[in-house]
Chain A
Amino acid sequence: MKIIVCVKHAIDESELKADSSGKPELQDARTKMSSFDRNAVEEAIRIKETKGATVTILSLGTDEAKKSIKEALAMGADEGLLIQCNPAELDTLGTSYYLSQAIQRKPVDLVLCSEGSSDTYTGQVGPMIAEWIGYPFIGYARKIEIRENDVRCEQAYEDRVDVSEAKLPVVISVVNEINEPRYATLIQMLQASKKPIEDFRLESLKGSDAPHTQVSVIDVNVQAVNRKRIIFDGEINEAAKKLADALRNERVIKS
């Protein structure tokens, strides 16, 4: 079977700093494969290991995004595809459009993505890809069972787990509890550099139905933190008593 995993090369949100005016320092920011995408890659490789499959990693961005593709190749994927563009110029409707165009050039049985990216977390691209192509979409899968011509999934919703089935080809988004992603060894990373990565030009994927970018980011600012940061240390009982008194003074608990 053929699997495409969509991977985002994302800003590492845990390392992102604000400048003196409160704007994120995106120029020097560290980047990484979007955390939840590692689960989608892992799931594809597990399917490859148990059922046999070719795993293609698809991303959209500048050459920088090849870092994430290479990481996924080192984890065990077979080949990479990169849609060359400036991702900041596309909204989710456009991103999902071009990803779906690339997917349609490669006959595929399964498209995997994560529930959302770790940097901007819109959770839109997966279901949008399915809708552009007309494939069924199964969201928030915590378990995937591939069968002869269809797939059965457990979907983790807030208050329930739904068991659903759909015919292949299908788009599935996974939640991070589906598996524990592996880390590539140094040897795997060296071997991965020999695996092919094909480039697509954005223009070559643009059909007459390509959407215009409609969503724009006007302003990004650091969240102000105005907390007292009073630490009660020392003997536990004394600290607990001080905390209880402080909470009564704040009138957030009954005195």
Chain B
Amino acid sequence: MTVLAYSENSDLATETFTASRELANQLDCEALSIQLDELDKSIQVNGKVAVLKSERHLSGNPDLIVTALSNLVPKLNASVILIGATRLGRQVASQIAVRMRVSALSEVRSLKVEDAKLTGVRAVYGGRFTAKVSSGIPCVATIPTGTYQKNEGSPTSVEIISLDRMSEKVVHIETRPKIKGSTDIKTALIIISAGRGFKKKEDLLMLEKLAKRLDGAVGCSRPLSSDLGWMGEENHIGLTGAYVHPDLYVAVGISGQLQHIAGIRDSKIIVAINKDKQAPIFQIADYGIVGDLYEIIPALLKYLA
């Protein structure tokens, strides 16, 4: 028996491997980190690695990844397949589940084996509630970012697995990169986030200045990254974006929709700055200032030397 771990995101790949090791210990079997095409040295994995190779480039091609991983399941007698809960990961996990006729858990943390079932905890109803869910084994599960520690070290063994020729139904035409932010929100100790309260894109410079002063990263709520495109999707914090857990989270001009709050609950200290006293963000904040962010940020810059 094996527990497989895969993510196309290298940080999430090591976190997912940590989860797979914990489960493998409970199931008394081995954990295996799956990588595609070639060994990625940036993925820290202190354990066994299998690199899947085919005539075709597998990375980024969901159809081929589904086929490759599904082929591996009987070959390695995989009991649990853990996949990083990126957008691609969610798709791939769902398709593998149907192809292998096994059940699937979505975005679960605190995974455990209890009574020969896999249990985990996930956020539901906009993150206001948590559900403990269970599934029979074998199964597939996706792991959200930032819920497991990174695995550190280098591979103890690397096996190359060659796969037969595969074909896909969806043809990839091109990839357009999105603009990258400078600091990674998943590892930042301080995050300053912007919401709809900002009137125009240029005003985000104020936010960046504050982030820089505190040596923090910049984040945003979903409207800013998806609807307005003022920030990259990698800055998006919330239910459909990243889950973060900094020491200090400052929400500036964010009203605090449930979807956003879902992503920031694990922050140590939450600060809210909003002009609307009734904004739900104040309900989950440790400290707050009610007022115009355009006045408050300059004042804060003055006192946060």
- Give me the interface of A with B, judged by CB distance under 8 Å: 11, 13-14, 16, 18, 24, 91-93, 96, 115-116, 118-128, 130-132, 135-140, 152, 156-167, 175-177, 211, 214-223, 225, 227-233, 236-237, 239-241, 243-244, 246-247, 250, 252-254
Contact = CB atoms under 8 A, between A and B. Distances in A.
B205 interface: no
Interface in B161-215: 169-178, 180, 189-190, 214-215
Interface in B102-141: 102-107, 119, 123-136, 139
A228 B180 CA distance: 34
B75 interface: no
B304 A215 contact: no
Contacts of A217: 131-133
A233 B288 CA distance: 8
A136 B173 contact: no
Contacts of A124: 90, 93-94, 97, 104, 106
Nearest to A150: B171
A231 B289 contact: yes
Contact of B87 (A157, A227, A231): A157
A93 B97 contact: yes
A248 to B, nearest CB: 9
Given A156-B226, A230-B286, A247-B269, A123 B129 contact: no
A20 to B, nearest CB: 15
A154 to B, nearest CB: 8
Nearest to B169: A136
Interface stretch (B28-36, B41-49, B147-155, B233-241): B233-241
B289 A240 contact: yes
Contacts of B282: 229, 231
A132 B129 contact: no
Contacts of A130: 95
A216 B139 CA distance: 13
Contact of A128 (B97, B126, B127, B189): B97
B284 A122 contact: no
Contacts of A175: 226
A128 B95 contact: yes
A47 B212 CA distance: 46
B288 A230 contact: yes
Nearest to A246: B287
Nearest to A123: B90
Given A218-B132, A232-B288, A250 B169 contact: no
9 contacts: A159-B232, A166-B169, A217-B132, A219-B132, A222-B129, A239-B289, A240-B289, A243-B289, A244-B304
B86 A223 contact: no
A223 B241 CA distance: 19
B interface residue count range (under 10 / 10 to 19 / 20 to 34 / 35 or more): 35 or more
Contact of A165 (B86, B133, B134, B171): B171
Given A131-B99, A166-B171, A246-B287, A121 B296 contact: no
Max chain B C-beta neighbours (<10 A), residue from A11, A116, A229, A254? A229
Contacts of B173: 152, 162-165
Contacts of A240: 289, 296, 299-300, 302-303
Contacts of B175: 160-163
Given A11-B125, A13-B128, A122-B107, A228 B299 contact: no
B290 A231 contact: yes
CB-CB nearest 5 A-B residue pairs: A136-B169, A240-B299, A122-B106, A214-B103, A131-B98
A163 B258 CA distance: 31
A246 B248 CA distance: 12
B227 interface: yes
Given A14-B258, A127-B94, A219-B132, A247 B290 contact: no
A120 B127 CA distance: 9
B56 interface: no
Contact of A137 (B95, B268, B288, B296): B95
A217 B129 CA distance: 13
